Structure 1
Amino acid sequence: MAWLTLTNYALYFESLGVGSYDKPARYDLATDLKQVVKREMTGPLGTRLFDKAVMYKSTTITEPIFLEFPEFKGHTRRDCWLAIIREVLNMHRFIKKFNIKEIQREEVLSMAILGIFRYRAVKEAFHMAPSHFKSTLAFNLTEKLPKGDIILEALHSQLLLLHTGYQRHNTESVSNKSQAALLPASLLTLSRLGLMSLKDPYMTEEKDLSGWVVRVGVQSPLELALRESICHSGRVEAARATLDQVKVEGIDTNLAVMQALLFPLAELGKYLRFLSSWEDPFKSIMFLAVSLYVVYRGWISYMLPCSFLSIAIIMIWNKYRSKGKPLEGFQVTPPPNKNAVEQLLILQEGISQLETYVQAANIILLKLRALLLGAMPQILQLHNIWIVCGIWMT
């Protein structure tokens, strides 16, 4: 038996036994310890069979810990705990990043707590993981959304206005509702629910305080940041949908697509093989002369930077020449339909060919080792030496 407790500052794990009690292990989420929290697969004897665990790693522990959530079907409990743990962790990262203190810090903590309460309420109401209601966990959501850093900056600016209104509230007499509305809304909500006590006596006396004040028809920086993030989210989803469309099933089909994509490299390899076969002596002699001249002049070190520079120039040229036009599709010749047994046979044949290539590479490496160490076996004849030297030069 075990008892897992999550607070707004740390995670506690307490093992319970019959007639025994161990001190709970505490894993701090508030300090900067380079924590990593992610889903993990576990199983007996180190096997990865069940996707029902949460992995936690930080600089204070030597090895990562794994928290397993046994469940007969699915991984709903694990996903729920992972989401709220990440929410607390991301909340403290936001506080440390902008150095938030005093009433701002209390408001941020209250926002995260209310989000976790809403998340749990949805889960209990629908008896399922609220995957479509993750917007209740604000800080966890901004880590996944594009332009999430802009949303956090806008939220910090909003909190600065909150801090200004709170200072004015403590120094001056408040006579209208517009200044009172600048008080921390989430903190006041928790206080009304009896979950948090307020230190300021005036704030406890007010009963009709509302949230932040916004002017009608004027978008706040936070709303503008959210709108921009939503626009970029649509582009990201469109890109993911495009990637999902090009995913095909079957080993032979994927090999056919890869062959079509690598067609330019395959043509280049065929041309180099044509030059090395000396079918056209003039072209082979010219290629050999140019290669020897490049080696003699010491230009080999410039080949890689020049290649990258040429690729960059080609990319810029294609960008301005296309002028936003979509790319032309390339044709892929689909292989004939085959059953699972035939696909396995093709895979076995490919593995055999790969084994042959590895054996040939090992033979070349052994010959090079023999040349370098000067231990020439009798079976290594003179023509083999020239072959190896030619491979070394190319």
Structure 2
Amino acid sequence: MSDWLRIPPDSDFTLANLPYGIFSTDDRPPRAGVAVGEQILDLAELGNTGVFDFDVSVLNQPTLNAFVALGKSVTSRARTRVQSWLRMAPDGPIQRHHLVPMAEATLHLPVRIGDYTDFYSSIEHATNVGRMFRDPEKALLPNWRHLPVGYHGRASSIVVSGTPVRRPVGQLMPAEANHPVFEPTRRLDFELEMAFVVGKDSELGRPISVDEAEDYIFGMLLFNDWSARDIQRWEYVPLGPFLGKSFASSVSPWLVPLEALGPFRVAGPEQTPGVLPYLQSTGKNNYDIDLEVKVNEETVCRSNFRYMYWNMQQQLAHHTSNGCNVRVGDLMASGTISGQSPDSYGSLLELTDNGTRGGFLRDGDTVTMTGHAGQGAERVGFGSVTGRILPARR
């Protein structure tokens, strides 16, 4: 490769990765790009040279939805060609003027999110929370090992990394009070999650099977599902999370295609008791992705996506098992990702044992989540998702 395509040795954005995103600069309106080292390959500009075999107008749009909707046969072929062209640069179609320094670009929400569902798929997290708030001997509810528990969230408040998060105000019941109060949350938390983006529309009334679910999953993002624990605890019976969650969720700007993660597939935990036939999943359907959370540059959690009890294929199969349809750009989040050791718990609720060994997030705190699989030239990373807490507005 040319000197202007050098990739730092610790980069998340190697040629093995090539994640998609939406970026803009002072002289380029929002458009599709690919992260390469510390630069962005302007796919729209490259497309104007006539090298692609699809309608390149999809690359000049402010979201990736139209590009993703072309289907994996098209998007995977485009990715393979870009990989090849980058390796032969500058002797191929990619030239210096097709690249933009990432430091000079603004990154945007990569997809237009129509619907958003949050799952609850880490058995370690569900057990930890159940022990805190229910009988420690019966931490998991009776349905938990039989289906991927989830709820429908709010898509309008999902923001791209770097967007500040305002401390929410809500109704909560202090321990010392007899009546609820309306005030800023005292227990603002992060939740370490990952999310997948739906890449294909399904038909209303037709379930997606576990075996075909992967065809509907385009790629993955880092996801921080901010939570106001005290608001949530007061409101969640009987219908589940509402205002304690819907004030904000943050996603990383780079969408890693599922094929880039293929080398890091691993088997998931054994599911006992056995699940119903429509959820039975064989083979390596989890991914070995190292995850880290920092609060104000201090590492508070190291976990891994491989711990998930329910995999993405099972989540999507269950989501559509009643005939619910999905659409390109829909987002499905994993739920908090916790491991077995205390330093791998994916929320302050767990890390502080419900606030008994430390506090929750303060105004001015910045939370940064990172994730990657592999090392060196084969590293496939997600960059980061960050958010700084702003004081409540009353």
Q: Give the TM-score, by structure 1 length.
A: 0.20
Q: Give the TM-score, by structure 2 length.
A: 0.20
Question: Which protein is bigger by CA-based radius of gyration?
Answer: 1
- Relative to its length, the structure with more helix (as a share) is 1
Q: Which has the higher contact order (CA 8 A, sep 6+)?
A: 2
